[in-house]
Structure 1
Amino acid sequence: MSSDIDEQLSSRTADLRIVVDDLSGPKVAALLTQHLAEMYDNSPADSVHALDLDALRGPDITFWSAWEDSELAGCGALKRLDATHGEIKSMRTATDRTGRGIAATLLNHLIAEARARGFHRLSLETGASDYFAPAQRLYARHGFEVCPPFADYIEDPHSVFMTRTL
């Protein structure tokens, strides 16, 4: 059964093109604006750790956009914390494309990139409310486990910290 589901997801995401993005396009800007707005709608302001366009252009971050033909399907970023530890940032699927395996494909891409960069650990922060439950399930399915705060994060009841070894 699992292989049937994997085959269905593979066929639905076979035409997904994931590219390094300079964050200059209006579709990417619109998706990230929506992402930030929803983060603020679902978490207290001091618990929102999503990055804006300028922060995502930082030298320690690589940002990817995912495309189906000319339509933006999603995005994700990888932040270098140190020589062996990376962080996933700004994982987002376009609202009209959820449930099609795009997030899983993007996440697998980020994991592969982290390995290629020599990272031994990959971590992330997501929200703790019910709104973030699908993201938490996605990360858990891909081997991420709840962990204490990492990097510069502090304990926060509105945040869930997750990590996995590579």
Structure 2
Amino acid sequence: MDVRKEDVTAQDVIVLLQDHLKSMTMHSPPESIHALNADRLRQPDVTFWSARENGILLGCGALKELNSRHGEIKSMKTSPHHVRKGVANRILRHMLEEARQRGYQRISLETGSMEAFLPARRLYEKAGFQYCDPFAHYKEDPNSLFMTLNIG
């Protein structure tokens, strides 16, 4: 499995991101959806990675710079055809290593509080993330949970 920076223009990436946003709308009210669309993932403060094997897209993730010491994990998604193969864990490890190289002291994320987001929360818990108060622009929301990991 190869994790690499990728421009958010490949058709299979666009389809996976659309699936990600669609699944968010199935489980969260519109005001509680914080996933980034393809245009927002192309902004200079966001780095996007894909995981591929033999050219096949397995999943993706992005890291948004909040400031020089704090990053945010965004748009983590595994292709439905490749769940339970370690894709999300591999992308997460890659992003955490990149965050350390950038000198970030902390990585945070927002995820849903509903049952559908339990696998994601377990992944982050296993990686050492702790639940925290809202950060950056986020506000308290019964549909959201916030997590952070000190990496400095």
TM-score tier after normalising by the smaller chain length: over 0.9
- What is the Cα deviation at residue 37 of structure 1? 0.3
- Among candidates 15, 19, 44, match of residue 34 of structure 1: 19
Select the structure of larger CA radius of gyration: 1
Tell me the alpha carbon deviations over residues 112-143 of structure 1, each in whole angstroms, 9 at most, x when there is no partner. 00000000000000000000000000000000
Moved over 6 A (4+): none
Between the aligned residues of both structures, percent identity stands at 50
Written as runs of structure 1 = structure 2, the 5 A alignment for 1:1-166 is 16-166=1-151
What residue number does 1:4 align with? none
The 1-side partners of 2:54 and 2:141 are apart by 40
The 2-side partners of 1:29 and 1:48 are apart by 18
Give the TM-score of the pair, scaled to structure 2: 0.98
In structure 1, stretches of 5+ residues that fail to align are 1-15
Give the TM-score of the pair, scaled to structure 1: 0.90
Letter in 2 for 1:119: Y
The 1-side partners of 2:83 and 2:145 are apart by 22
Letter in 2 for 1:88: I
- Secondary structure (helix, strand or coil) at the match of 1:133 reads helix
The 2-side partners of 1:40 and 1:115 are apart by 32
The 2-side partners of 1:88 and 1:98 are apart by 19
> How many residue pairs are counted as aligned between the two chains?
151
The 2-side partners of 1:138 and 1:88 are apart by 13
Tell me the alpha carbon deviations over residues 7-56 of structure 1, each in whole angstroms, 9 at most, x when there is no partner. xxxxxxxxx01111111100000000000000011000100000000001
What residue number does 1:7 align with? none
- What do you get for the CA RMSD once the two structures are aligned? 0.5
